[in-house]
Amino acid sequence: MQRQIIPQTMGQQFGRRSWAEPWKIKMVEPIRMTSREERERAIAEAGYNTFLLRSDDVYIDLLTDSGTSAMSDRQWAGLMLGDEAYAGSRNFYRLEATIQDYYGYRFVVPTHQGRGAEHLISQALIQPGDVIPGNMYFTTTRLHQELAGGRFVDVIIDEAHDPQSEHPFKGNVDLGKLQALIDEAGAERVRYVSLAGTVNMAGGQPVSMDNVRTLRELCDRYGIPIYLDATRMAENAYFIQEREPGYADKPIAAILKEFCSYTDGAWMSAKKDSLVNIGGWLAVNDEEVFDAARNLVVVYEGLHTYGGMAGRDMEALAIGIEESVQDDHIRSRIGQVRYLGELLVDWGIPIVCPVGGHAIFLDAKRFYPHIRQNEFPAQMLAAQLYLDSGIRAMERGVVSAGRDPETGDHRYPALELVRLTIPRRVYTQAHMDVTAEAVKAVYDARMETRGLDMVYEPKYLRFFQARFQPLVA
Ligand SMILES: *Cc1c(COP(=O)(O)O)cnc(C)c1O
């Protein structure tokens, strides 16, 4: 159905017309393939946690698309234009105007990265006992909401929890679930709706324009604001353009701005869509919320005209925002992700469908049906991929879900996934071929693979630092 933008493999069709990246390569960074013995040593030292590997030991790094993008020559040139004044840097004013222009919010607070902005908005808005509904949790987002005394409640549609559902907008909010929550908790307890574009934990699945529009109507009835995790909203806009009636001829930039117009503010990890290695922001329309956040930013991040970023970072970010909403850029970005997904689907490997915006998610439950969830099948799958070919992926399953703060038990998410995240403008189609072949090799050896035992567990965001050992038969 979306075949027209998928590059077809050689000889498949005569007269085919492929897309290609709207850039060429000016500088390269050598990478090194290790031996199997080196990788065995490295993963054991890393406690079978790919976050604890050294990047020098990694061949193709698909851990995350966060801060790993390649900047353009224009962005690198922008670094030279940094105004490193402590207060009132010219780069801040340019960034502020760019955010206002492309995202449409009134007030901007810069932060060092996304979680800095999550911290500010959570502290500014949430009172102990508040309920925060959202379309599936994200690790840092939910933690900041909980640390502020809030309780996150998932109100995403059921299809999002089913890796085989082909629903085109699996990121949508289930308005029935939200209504039930409002009825049960009381509208005054529902502090805001925490809405995310291309829902990461569901496999990079988009939210439709129709969904955010009707969500706005429902929230208006109760005076509940909507705050958006805009981290991958440019990618979300692409899916709207592709799938939603009436949007095929609208540019990505226009779709992005319309979507944001249904929300009251947003936080951003600029390390994703915006093509920079560090940075973030919070932007809101309500002046009181802005005042609170601008006051908090000086405590936790830095003065309100840099928020933890250098002047040069803000300049590169302003340029990155402009580049991130170009239709050609997004088409090739998502086209590359799909190329990898198509290869895996053709080989019968279980992945989350439809393929999302920034990553391929391997379905570890179907990959390793013989490994129980409390033996961390996705964690083991990521380790096996590294062992096979030096490819680094990330667990997004029971380890990432953490423990229930009330019962102390593991949270067992329906989705037990391994994320192969594609950095923007970094790897070639040949790297995608090598990756697909590595997944296939691990899949072919799946029945010989066993689970893991967790031997060290940190208190917060345990997936970053937990350590494991293979279970022996
Ligand atoms: C990465 C991310 C964040 C957190 O941003 P950081 O820049 O890593 O602090 C928040 N939400 C989503 C959806 C993300 O992907």
Tell me, yes or no, whether 29 and 125 share the same domain.
no
Return the number of other C-beta atoms located less than 10 Å from residue 434's C-beta: 17
Q: CB-side exposure of 12: number of CA atoms within 13 Å?
A: 9
Q: Tokens standing for 362?
A: 């391997």
Residue 221 lies in a domain: yes
Tell me, yes or no, whether 290 and 168 share the same domain.
yes
CATH code, domain with 232: 3.40.640.10
- Substitution candidate for ligand 1 out of 272, 277, 317, 460 with most atoms within 8 A of CB: 272
Q: Tokens standing for 398?
A: 């029971």
Tell me, yes or no, whether 86 and 140 share the same domain.
yes
Closest CA to 62 of 440, 352, 433, 427: 427
Tell me, yes or no, whether 179 and 128 share the same domain.
yes
Q: Among 324, 349, 364, which residue terminates a domain?
A: 324
Tell me, yes or no, whether 86 and 227 share the same domain.
yes
Residue 86 lies in a domain: yes
CA distance 92 to 353: 40
Q: Tell me the mean pLDDT per 10 residues along the chain, length 473.
A: 45 71 96 97 98 97 97 98 98 98 98 98 98 95 96 97 94 98 97 96 94 98 98 98 98 98 98 98 98 98 97 98 98 96 97 94 97 97 98 96 92 95 98 98 97 95 96 83
- Substitution candidate for ligand 1 out of 65, 69, 115 with most atoms within 8 A of CB: 115
Tell me, yes or no, whether 290 and 317 share the same domain.
yes
Asked if 266 and 229 count as a contact pair (C-beta separation under 8 A), the reply is: yes
pLDDT of residue 152: 97
pLDDT of residue 13: 57
pTM over 0.85: yes
CB burial string 17-34: b at 16+ within 10 A, e below = eeeebeeeeeeeeeeeeb
- What atom in ligand 1 is closest to the CA of residue 270? 7
Residue 246 lies in a domain: yes
33 alpha carbon – ligand 1 mean position (Å)? 29
159 alpha carbon – ligand 1 mean position (Å)? 23
Collect all residues with Cβ–Cβ distance below 8 Å to 129 and sequence separation of at least 6: 149, 151, 189
Domain count, the chain: 2
Hey, which residues are catalytic here? 86, 138-139, 229, 272, 396, 463
Tell me, yes or no, whether 292 and 188 share the same domain.
yes
- Substitution candidate for ligand 1 out of 51, 140, 145, 236 with most atoms within 8 A of CB: 140
Q: Residues lining ligand 1, judged by CB closer than 6 Å?
A: 66, 113-115, 138, 140-141, 196, 200, 229, 231, 269, 271-272, 280
Q: Among 324, 357, 377, which residue terminates a domain?
A: 324
Asked if 329 and 338 count as a contact pair (C-beta separation under 8 A), the reply is: no
Per DSSP, the residues of 170-203 read TT-B-HHHHHHHHHHH-GGGB--EEEESSBGGGT
- CA 133-137-138 angle, to 5 degrees, is 135
Residue 3 lies in a domain: no
CA distance 351 to 106: 40
Residue 179 lies in a domain: yes
Q: Among 324, 355, 376, which residue terminates a domain?
A: 324
Whose Cα sits closest to atom 3 in ligand 1?
Answer: 114
67 backbone φψ class: left, alpha, beta (φ>0; ψ -120 to 50)? left
Containing structural domain, residue 213: 73-324
Note the Cα 468 to chain centre separation in Å. Answer: 25
Q: Tokens standing for 15?
A: 């007269």
Tell me, yes or no, whether 349 and 297 share the same domain.
no
CA distance 384 to 439: 9
Residue 120, judged by CB atoms within 10 A of its CB (0-12, 13-18, 19+), counts as buried
Segments in 200-263 forming alpha helices (H): 209-222, 233-243, 252-261
Asked if 215 and 209 count as a contact pair (C-beta separation under 8 A), the reply is: no
pLDDT of residue 208: 98
Phi, psi of 395 (to 5 degrees): -70, 135
Query: Looking up tokens 């640390």, which residue turns up?
Result: 147
Cis peptide bond upstream of 354, omega within 30:
yes
Asked if 334 and 326 count as a contact pair (C-beta separation under 8 A), the reply is: no
Residue 67 lies in a domain: no
Tell me, yes or no, whether 338 and 275 share the same domain.
no
Q: Tokens standing for 203?
A: 């496999």
Tell me, yes or no, whether 319 and 337 share the same domain.
no
Query: Looking up tokens 């302003």, which residue turns up?
Result: 318
pLDDT of residue 3: 43
CA distance 130 to 185: 9
Helix and strand numbers (H, E) in the chain are: 16, 14
Tell me, yes or no, whether 280 and 162 share the same domain.
yes
268 alpha carbon – ligand 1 mean position (Å)? 7
Tell me, yes or no, whether 452 and 337 share the same domain.
yes
pLDDT of residue 16: 78
DSSP single-letter state for residue 50: G
269 alpha carbon – ligand 1 mean position (Å)? 5
Asked if 232 and 272 count as a contact pair (C-beta separation under 8 A), the reply is: yes
What Å distances lie between residue 351 and 203, 347, 362, CA to CA? 9, 11, 4
What Å distances lie between residue 272 and 91, 229, 268, 358, 438, CA to CA? 20, 12, 9, 9, 25
- CA 396-115-111 angle, to 5 degrees, is 150
CA distance 63 to 420: 7
334 alpha carbon – ligand 1 mean position (Å)? 19
Residue 306 lies in a domain: yes
Query: Looking up tokens 């329309």, which residue turns up?
Result: 285
CATH code, domain with 28: 3.90.1150.10
Residue 68 lies in a domain: no
pLDDT of residue 19: 83
What Å distances lie between residue 384 and 46, 363, 419, 470, CA to CA? 13, 14, 13, 11
Q: CB-side exposure of 152: number of CA atoms within 13 Å?
A: 23
3 state SS of 151: strand
